[in-house]
Structure 1
Amino acid sequence: MKRKITKKIRIGNIYIGGDAPISIQSMTNTDTRDIKSTINQIKELEEAGCEIIRCAVPDMEACEALKDIIKNINIPLVSDIHFDYRLALKSIDNGISKLRINPGNIGDKQRIEMVVKKAKERNIPIRIGVNSGSLEKRLLVKYGKVCPEALVESALGHVKILEEFDFDNIALSIKSSNVIEMIESYRLISQKTNYPLHLGVTEAGTHWRGTIKSSVGIGTLLSEGIGDTIRVSLTGNPVEEIRVAKEILKSLGLLKGGIEFISCPTCGRTEIDIIKIANEVEKRIENLNKNIKIAVMGCVVNGPGEARDADIGIAGGNGEGLIFKKGEIIKKVKEDQLIYELIKEIEKM
C-alpha cells in the first residue's frame, strides 16, 4: 500500500505525518484533577505501547494538574479543551505537547489569536477535531443532515481560521460513530488538504463492538494509504485500545516486531481443548518481549504444515500434542503439559 505523504509535525518527541511511522494514541478516562490516578494510568498505557496521550481539561484545576502529570510521564501529552481559550493558554504554559481544540468554538478572533500566538511561540501543534455529534447548526441546515461533505466543510472552516493567523502546525480528525461515514469523510478530506490525519471511529462502543468498528474503519483507511496516527475508542480500560491498535497495525504490516499469535478456529478433527489452551497461551505470552510468531493449532495432521511459517507452535492430538518449530516437530507431550512445555521453549528462544 502506498501511503499519502502529508505535512510532518512534531508532538513532543514524536512526529506524525510525512515519513513518520503510524503512531498510537489513547485518552485517559481518569479525572485529570486526580493527579496520581492519571499518572498511573498513563504509565500503564506507556507500557502497553501508547505513544501519545490525551487528557480532558474541563477546568483550571485540571489544567494546573497537567504540570505534575507531565513531569512524571515519558510520552507527549495532548490537552483536550472545549470552548475556554484560557484553558488552552494555561495548558501551553504548563508544558503540553499538543492542543486539541476547535478554534471556531473558543470565542472571537482576539481570543483565537492569543491561543495561536502562544502555540506558535512554543511550537505546539493544534488538532482540529470534528465530530458527527457536534456539527455546527448552519451546516446541518445547509446539508439537511450529518454527512461527509458537511464534516469536511466544518474541518476546513476551522483550518481557515488558523491559517488566517499564519498558523499551519495542524492535525485533523473527522470522526463519526458511523463507520461508512467516517471512511468517506477521511477519504474526502485527504483529497482536500495535506495536513496529517488522526484516524478514529468515535463512540465505537464496548470492547467487542468497538474493536470490530474501529478495525474496519481505521483498517480500511490505512490500507488505502490514508492516516498518520490512530486512536481506537473503546468503552472500558484504555489499555485495551492500545492492544487493538497494535493488532490493526500488525495485520497490515505497519508495525514490526513483538509477538504475533495465531490459532486455528477448531473443527471436528480437534481432540483436545484447543480453545482453553489458546486463551491460556495468549494470556501467558502477553508481556513477553520477543519478536516471534506463535501458533496454537488443533490438529496434528495439518497443524505443523498450516503454521509452517510460525517460529514455534503446538498442534493437538488425542490427549497429547506436538511442539514444532518452523514446521519441524521437536517433541511430543501430554495435553496437560502442552502449555508448560511450549512456554519453556519460547523462553529459550
Structure 2
Amino acid sequence: MSYRPYQQILRRKSRQIRVGKVLVGGDAPISVQSMTNTPTEDAKATIEQIRRCELAGADIVRVSVPTPESTAALHEIVREVNVPIVADIHFHYRRAIEAAKAGAACLRINPGNIGSKERVKEVVKAARDHGCSIRIGVNAGSLEKHLLEKYGEPNPEALVESALWHAAHLQDEDFHEFKISVKASDVFLAVAAYQQLAEACDHPLHIGITEAGGRRTGTVKSAIGLGNLLWSGIGDTLRVSLSAEPEEEVHVGWEMLKSLGLRHRGVKIISCPSCARQGFDVIRTVATLEERLAHIETPITLSIIGCVVNGPGEALMTDIGLTGGGAGRHMVYAAGRTDHTIDEAAMVDHLVGLVEKKAAAIEAEEAARKAAEATAQATAQAAE
C-alpha cells in the first residue's frame, strides 16, 4: 500500500478460511476467481480453459457439476491444474458429495435450491470428511419462497437474512470453513446487501455483481459495484461475471485490484486518451504494448503519454515512461528522470526490452533477498 493517507483502504476484519492452497479472509490478499463455460464432462476442454485462466492470474476457478458425468470428470481436472477448484452445485445435493470425493477444494451451494436442512447436513459432512470449504451463494434470482413472501421482492434485507440463516445451519454442525456471497444483477441491491452483511458478521465474503452483461457493459457495472465495496474495505475474494471468455474476467478483476492498490501483478500502463498534441499514435502503441507485455508478472508501472503537457509529471511516478516529442523522437524516462530519446520506429521494441530487463532485475533482487534470508535462518538454527 502507498504511504499516502488518501490512498489507504482499511479492509474489513474477517475470519480466514482455506480454499485449497489459497487463504481467503483475514490478512490474505483478495483473490481473483473465474468460472469455466465448457461442458465439465469434456475434461480436456475444461482443463485447457482453466490453464488460460491460470496464465491470466486466476487464484481460484469454479466449474459447474450438474451431472454424475461432470463430477466423474472432476477427478482428472483437479489433478491436471494448479489452482483450487470450486464445484458449483445447484438442485442436486449429491453432486456436492461426489465433488468433495473427487477433490474439489470448495463447494458452492445455493441454499435456495439445494433442498432441505437434512441435505445441507449431508453436504457439510462430505465437506468436512474431504477437507473442503463451502461458499453459501445467495442470489437475488433464487431466494427462498418464505423470504419472498415476507419481503415481497428481493431486497438487501432478504439476501442478508437468507445468508445468515444458512450460515447458522453450518455453524449448528460446528462447521466454520465457509464464505458467503449475496449477489444480484442490480448494482444498488448487491452493494447494499454486501454492506449490511459486512456489518452483521465476520464471515469472509465473496463479492460479485452477477449476470453483469457483456465485456464492456459487465466491466462497467462490476467496476461500479465491486469498486465501491473494495474501496470501503469489503471483499475477500471476487469474481467479475462477464458474458466473455473466463480469462477476461480475471484480467478485469486484476485491473480493479491494481487500480485500488490492493494487489499488484504485471505491467500497469498509465496512458493518455490521446489528442491532436500527440507525438505518436498513443492508442495503437498502448494496445500493442498490452499484448506484448502480457507475459510479465512482476509489478512494474509504465507511462505512455502523447505529449509534454502531462508526460513528465506522469513519468515521475512510474518505473519507466515515454513522452511524445517532435520530429519522430520521443523521451524515455527511468525512475522518473529523463534518460534518453528513441526513434518512433524502434519505440515499441525498445520499451518491451526495458520492461523485460527491469522485471528480470526485480526478480533477481527478490531471489537474492530470499536466499539471504534462508542463509541467515540456517545459520541461526545451526548456532542453537
- Note whether the superposition's TM-score is higher than 0.5: yes
Deviations 1:75-130 (A, max 9, x none): 11111011112111111111111101134533334333222222222232111111
Gaps of 5+ in 1: none
Q: 1:113 and 2:109 equivalent?
A: no
Correspondence for 2:188 among 180, 189, 196: 180
Runs (5+) with no aligned partner, structure 2: 1-8, 359-384
Counterpart secondary structure, 1:33:
coil
Q: Secondary structure at the match of 2:332?
A: strand
* 1:294 aligned partner: 302
CA distance in 2, matches of 1:119, 1:167: 9
Q: Does 1:307 align with 2:315?
A: yes
Counterparts of 2:112 and 2:307 in 1: how far apart (Å)?
Answer: 60
Aligned to 1:330: 339
Aligned to 1:240: 248
C-alpha distance in structure 2 between counterparts of 1:314 and 1:31, whole Å: 45
Q: Residue by residue, what CA displacement relative to the aligned partner does 1:153-201 show, whole Å, maximum 9, x if unpaired?
A: 1212222222332322221000111111111000001111211100000
Q: Secondary structure at the match of 2:203?
A: coil
What SS is found at the alignment partner of 2:138? Answer: strand
1:227 equivalent among 215, 235, 246: 235
Partner Cα separation in structure 1 for residue 280 and residue 266 of structure 2: 28
1:284-334 CA-to-partner distances (Å, cap 9, x unmatched) read 212124332111110035412332121112111233322222333322233
Indicate yes or no: 2:102 matched with 1:101.
no
Report the residue type matching 2:179 in the other structure. Answer: A
Partner of 1:345: 354
Three-state SS of the structure 2 residue aligned to 1:140 is helix
In the other structure, the counterpart of 1:256 is 264
Cα drift, residue 137 of structure 1? 2.7
Q: Is it true that 1:145 corresponds to 2:161 in the alignment?
A: no
> Do the aligned residues in 2 keep the contact of 1:274 with 1:297 (CA within 8 Å)?
yes
Q: Which residue of 146, 155, 158 corresponds with 2:163? A: 155
Structure 1 residues 106 and 279: alpha-carbon distance in aligned structure 2, compared to 1, 3 A threshold:
closer
C-alpha contact 2:265 2:297 (8 A) present in aligned 1: no
Q: CA RMSD in A?
A: 1.7
Q: Which residue number corresponds to residue 2 of structure 1? A: 10
Q: CA contact under 8 A between 2:180 and 2:204: conserved in structure 1?
A: yes
Q: Which runs of 4+ in 1 moved over 6 A?
A: none
Q: What are the Cα deviations for residues 185-242 of structure 1, in whole angstroms up to 9, with x where unaligned? A: 0000111121110000001111111111111111111111111101111111110111
Helix, strand or coil: the match of 1:339?
A: helix
Residues 243-252 or 135-144, more deviating: 135-144
The 1-side partners of 2:141 and 2:66 are apart by 19
- Corresponding letter in the other structure for 2:349: Y
Q: 1:26 matched to which residue of 2?
A: 34
What is the DSSP-based 3-state SS (H/G/I as helix, E as strand, rest coil) of the residue aligned with 2:176? Answer: coil
Distance 1:87 1:128 in 2: 16
Please report the TM-score for the alignment, with normalisation by the length of structure 2.
0.87
CA distance in 1, matches of 2:273, 2:117: 58
Task: Determine if contact 1:266/1:298 at 8 Å carries over to the other structure.
Answer: yes
Match of 2:52 among 38, 41, 44: 44
The change in CA–CA distance for 1:230 and 1:317 in structure 2 (over 3 A counts) is: same
Which one of 124, 130, 136 corresponds to residue 138 of structure 2? 130
Give the distance between the partners of 1:169 and 1:214, measured in 2 at CA: 27
Tell whether the 8 Å contact from 2:54 to 2:83 is kept in structure 1 after alignment. yes
- Helix, strand or coil at the partner of 1:295: strand
Find the counterpart in structure 2 of residue 320 from structure 1.
329
- In the TM superposition, what is the alpha-carbon distance from 1:69 to its structure 2 partner? 0.5
